[in-house]
Amino acid sequence: MLLSCFCDTMDLSNSQNQMTRPMKLDRLIGILTILLQKDRVSAPELAEKFEVSRRTIGRDIDALCVAGIPIVTHQGIGGGISIAEGFKLDKSVLTADELSGTIAALKGIGSISPQSHIGRTLDKLHANSDSIVSLCEPIIIDLSSHYKGQLTQKIELIKRAVLETRLIEFEYYYEKGDTHRRIEPYFIIFQWTAWYVFGFCLERQDWRLFKLLRLWNLTLCKESYAQREIPPEKRDFSIRYASEMKLTALFDTSAKYQLIETYGLDCFTETDKGLLFELCFTNHEFLIGWLLSFGDKVKVLEPSDIAEAVKTIAASILSKYE
């Protein structure tokens, strides 16, 4: 049995050269994860798994030694690579709860990202049969939509633009009409049950949030941009709809399950006239659409402008059938 951790006797300049060689950090993490999960693994196995040469695996093992991980090599039949016995590090990098949460999150991202990337990462987390947790995570998160193909393409293109600090341009459709925008993208955000891109709009000279569902004909521009300092108040995306309005409405009892499904058991009070609903909303457009989805099962009591808006739309709908 030979220790490959000859780092203490290795010439310092040689070790620095080894550490600066181009090696992928994710491969090193993957090798370390496997060594923590298995008692012993061979160099050919690692080379095949990570699709590199045995010499590259040897350099990776040396790099882990330099980083302070006591790697042991076993010669002969049944030999291989392992971590020295007694090394004070838990046999799992993550606890059961942490690994379970990580797997659920990765699968959620996998619903809108190329599966090969996520699958490769999940494979690195895959433990042997006596693992404390299985990849069969009971939580399923699907962040895609009915137009998953286009959504994935948009997210991948925007992600590339952010990493390369390049402008993007697109057609945007909203309540005021259609518009063409060019922005400096900074973040892709999933919030309020939808995907958004956050960036600096060159037309408005201000920070804006654009919903990907309304964003089409997306193009990655050749022009790059110098990153700006994002004001702290602009990072709080919840204040985009900071102006609250309190809705008071009377719902038919047949709508009870819909109210519970959306806002829970405590969102209404049962009366002899129906379900009295009181809640604050921040998005005027969303509120109108949500109320109209109940048809004749709801009557708006307050505020008066919301009641008038619903009446006007209802009258317009009726006129189309007269």
Identify the band that residue 20 occupies on the pLDDT scale cut at 50, 70 and 90. Answer: very low
Q: Which residue has the tokens 């006596």?
A: 130
Using alpha carbons only, what angle is made at residue 55 by residues 54 and 59, rounded to the nearest 5 degrees? 115
Beta bridge partners of 198: 187, 209
Average pLDDT of every residue of the chain: 79
CB 292 within 8 A of CB 313: yes
- How do the domains of the chain map onto residue ranges? 2-83, 94-143, 148-240, 245-319
Stated pTM of the model: 0.54
Structure tokens at 242: 């900071």
CATH code for the domain defined by 245-319: 3.30.70.240
Q: How far is CA 256 from the centre of its chain?
A: 33
Question: Hey, what CATH class is 2-83 in?
Answer: mainly alpha
Question: Hey, what CATH class is 148-240 in?
Answer: mainly beta
Phi-psi region of 192 (alpha: psi -120 to 50; beta: other; left: phi over 0): left
* H or E stretch covering 210: strand 206-211
**pLDDT per residue as tens digits for the range 130-177:** 444 445 556 666 766 666 668 888 998 999 999 999 999 999 998 788
